[in-house]
Amino acid sequence: MSVLSSIIEGVLEDLESRKLSEAQLNELISSAPQVRDPLVSLRRNALSVIAEVKRSSPSKGALAEIPEPSTLAKKYESSGASVVSVLTEQRRFGGSLKDLHQVRNEIALPVLRKDFIVNEYLVKESRANGTDLLLLIVAALDDYQLRDFYTLAMELGMRVLVEVHDSAELDRALAINPEIIGVNSRNLKTLEIDLKNFDLLLPKIPKGIYRVAESGISESNQVKAAYQLGANAVLVGESLVKAGSPESLIADFLNVAAVN
């Protein structure tokens, strides 16, 4: 079993303990806060930062203690981040929907739910809990699921970040005409990082699609390289939660576009 398959198995097991009836879920959706458009926020800068609240990862284990996710999210917001990403997967990443709620209630920025969305319920659950931007991982879905979940998310008012890891996944992503594509340098089946993914895939994404470089980014020169390859934003988690001053690191990343 690959790492990705193992994570998905755990996600589905954990879902059973919190699953609501369809009527309850629809009621929550109807009373959820209005969506904050992430594309509007992201497009305000030549290069934007999606800053992530992330306690741990399958590859690195514990990264940082984050007792109050909203405190960290406020630092991200005040430093110029355009979107805050919140890990909600519990077993490998130490996240929860509670974290999502807390962050969404305490900041004015759009919030990305970072999780492994593999069924319709999880799409609806995301909107019910205030998600503005939803992650769909192409490697975790077949073509029918990818299209159906994307369509459902958009119908519910959310935007979708469609994540790819290789050329075949990019072709599958482009088939659904997405607004936003993220190129992940981490292979979720092996957890290996290869920043050459950015060189290979970012230039292949049509210019009308918003392009995000994900994973493996910790230094300004890496941000610069991704930007020059066509990235409109970088999604950064580990380096920010481990930084003594995430504010200064975000400022450094944002400055890349100003000097290039």
Containing 41, the helix (H) or strand (E) segment is helix 38-42
CB 85 within 8 A of CB 235: yes
- How much is the pLDDT for 65? 86
Task: Pick one of 1.10.150.20, 3.40.50.300, 3.20.20.70, 3.40.50.720 as the CATH number of 3-258.
Answer: 3.20.20.70
The whole-angstrom separation of Cα 44 and Cα 73 is 19
Please say if 129 is a catalytic residue.
Answer: no
Q: Which of 56, 79, 96, 114 is catalytic?
A: 114
CB 49 within 8 A of CB 82: yes
Secondary structure class of 36 (helix, strand, coil): coil
- How much is the pLDDT for 193? 85
| Choice among 2-6, 106-110, 179-183, 227-231 with the minimum mean pLDDT | 2-6
The whole-angstrom separation of Cα 100 and Cα 30 is 18
Q: Which of 89, 125, 169, 214 is catalytic?
A: 214
Beta strands in the chain (DSSP E): 48-53, 56-57, 61-62, 83-87, 111-114, 133-137, 159-164, 180-184, 210-214, 233-236
CB 3 within 8 A of CB 58: yes
Taking 70 as the threshold, does the pLDDT of residue 260 lie above it?
no
Q: What amino acid occupies position 163? A: E
β partners of residue 49: 234
List pLDDT tens digits, range 150-172: 999 999 999 999 999 999 999 99
Question: Which one, of 53, 78, 79, 52, lies nearest residue 66 by Cα?
Answer: 53
List pLDDT tens digits, range 60-79: 888 888 889 999 999 999 99
Computed over every residue of the chain, the mean pLDDT equals 94
CB 110 within 8 A of CB 37: yes
Q: Which of 79, 85, 215, 232 is catalytic?
A: 215
Pairing of strands 48-53, 233-236: parallel
Taking 80 as the threshold, does the pLDDT of residue 96 lie above it?
yes
- How much is the pLDDT for 131? 98
Please say if 52 is a catalytic residue.
Answer: yes
The whole-angstrom separation of Cα 195 and Cα 96 is 29
Q: Across residues 87-98, what is the average pLDDT?
A: 95
Burial 123-159 (b: 16+ CB within 10 A, else e): bbbbbbbbbbbbbbbbbbbeeebbbebbebbeebebb
Please say if 215 is a catalytic residue.
Answer: yes
List pLDDT tens digits, range 101-122: 999 999 999 999 999 999 999 9
Q: What amino acid occupies position 31? A: S
Q: What amino acid occupies position 118? A: V
Q: Identify the DSSP state of 139.
A: G
List pLDDT tens digits, range 117-140: 999 999 999 999 999 999 999 999
Beta carbons within 10 angstroms of residue 45's beta carbon: 16
Q: Which of 184, 187, 197, 232 is catalytic?
A: 184
Query: What length is written for the chain?
Result: 260
Please say if 89 is a catalytic residue.
Answer: no
List pLDDT tens digits, range 203-250: 999 999 999 999 889 999 999 999 999 999 999 988 998 887 899 999
Please say if 163 is a catalytic residue.
Answer: yes
Beta strands in 63-119 (DSSP E): 83-87, 111-114
Q: What amino acid occupies position 129? A: N
Q: Which of 89, 163, 169, 238 is catalytic?
A: 163
* Long-range CB contacts (within 8 A, 24+) of 257-260: 257/45, 257/46, 257/47, 257/227, 258/46, 260/224, 260/227, 260/228
- Domain ranges, ordered by start, for the chain: 3-258
